[in-house]
A = this chain, B = another copy of it.
Amino acid sequence: MNILIVEDDIDINNLLCRIVSKIGYNPQPAYSGTEAILQMERKSWDLFLLDLMLPGMSGEELLAMIRKKSDAGIIIISAKDERMTKVDMLRSGADDYITKPFDNEEVAARIEAQIRRLKKYRTPQVLTFKDIILNEETKQVTVNNIPVSLTAREYKLLRLFLTYPKKLFTKENIFAAVWESEYFDSANVVNVHMSNLRTKLAKANPDEEYIETIWGMGYRLKT
């Protein structure tokens, strides 16, 4: 469990790191918003402890960026005790909020509450189905031990299916998840990308069928 601690005050950051270590997780300090962004690109994080007053970038901005890119837990730690900020933070995607000065034990408990929840619904770093191996960390996909190069769309499509291997996805489902947009004018976009994905998978292993079409309903992995 990797926890990124975004807090510019060195002493407080150290303290938070110690708390995190003590309960058995892996802390990494970041002392500015920009440093946090760099850390996000470097590896994937399970939980963010986020100070709101940051050099380089406001905590609010950073919060929005994290939420956009990741499903990690976010705990805000801040001296701002104003009501609207608190409410706004929760609305905008933070999972919890702690005000300074904080109590060490409370911080530990809240971190564990988040981790407990995350663990439950954890998406593993490597997704597999039949002989497909999709590595979330490296974004590499192999089929039948052959590396398959997918475009971004194809990758997201495949990942969606592998994440819920039994679920039937309607084209609307797929569009909402992969395109991250509500509107959905033409089902054909989805069709085309499904076709392309299938072609690439088939090229790597012509003897196996991975995705089945359920007429009038959508697509599902073929078990």
Contacts and interface: CB of A to CB of B under 8 A. Distances in A.
Interface of A: 83-84, 86-88, 90-91, 94-96, 103, 105-106, 108-110, 112-113, 117, 120-121, 135, 137-140, 151-153, 155, 164, 166-168, 214-218, 220
B139 A168 contact: yes
A139 B220 contact: yes
Contacts of A112: 90-91
A151 B215 contact: yes
A187 to B, nearest CB: 14
Nearest to A110: B90
Contact of A166 (B108, B138, B220): B138
Nearest to A216: B152
Contacts of A96: 96
B138 A109 contact: no
Given A90-B112, A95-B117, A139-B168, 5 more contacts: A90-B110, A91-B109, A121-B121, A139-B217, A153-B216
Q: How many copies does the complex hold?
A: 2
Contacts of A121: 120-121
A214 B215 CA distance: 31
A202 to B, nearest CB: 22
Contacts of A86: 106, 109
B214 A139 contact: yes
Nearest to A94: B113
Given A96-B96, A151-B216, A153-B216, A137 B167 contact: yes
A220 B141 CA distance: 14
Given A138-B220, A167-B138, A216-B152, A90 B113 contact: yes
